[in-house]
Chains A and B, each alone.
Chain A
């Protein structure tokens, strides 16, 4: 019974396309996140939502737009994909940050 699930697992697409990644958690957590892990394996936060409200929006191009229809879901839509967007995108959730996060299995995005 997957705690944080994200789809798709792999996404290969051409430059200029628009794509979405979906994330759902069944842990009852109030906060959800999107992280990006680049080729150097550095994990960097992109967005954080608490009870459907945006609380963290790091310096991310506005081509990236998160949407949280309810506190169990946080989707990521990316417009006009660029080569530099190729990375692994991880969704995560937490109840309180001092308890740590639970991560989804990641979406490996490749832009060609």
Chain B
């Protein structure tokens, strides 16, 4: 079983739509959680950390559900520039080792 699993998509949504991605992780001892964004042929970049109480950064909201072992990312008022692959990332064992999901591809359509 993979450490981190997420729906690969693709998600094709119109501009202005709200879209949500979920990701599940297998190790209940996981400690740190992140969403990264990766544009085509570019490196992954940290979008936001995910805190237990949930957190928001502008149009982006991240939630953590430890009981069900999933994290989510909500994007409101989608922009064309949001088109990218969104990677769910989990620190599983407390060491300096992050496990990446395979990514969810989002395309925002004019």
Contacts and interface: CB of A to CB of B under 8 A. Distances in A.
Contacts of A50: 96
A26 B95 CA distance: 22
B102 interface: yes
Majority secondary structure of chain B interface residues (helix, strand, loop or mixed): strand
A31 B103 CA distance: 24
- Chain B contact patch, size range: 20 to 34
Contact of A101 (B42, B95, B98): B98
A102 B49 CA distance: 13
Contact of B42 (A33, A48, A98, A105): A105
Among B87, B95, B96, chain A packs the most CB atoms within 10 A around the CB of B96
B39 to A, nearest CB: 11
Contacts of A94: 96
- Chain A contact patch, size range: 20 to 34
B43 A105 contact: yes
A42 B46 CA distance: 17
B43 A56 contact: no
Contacts of B89: 100
Interface of A: 31, 33, 35, 40-45, 48, 50, 55-56, 90, 94, 96-106
What 5 pairs across the A-B complex have the smallest Cβ distances?
A103-B43, A98-B32, A43-B100, A97-B96, A100-B46
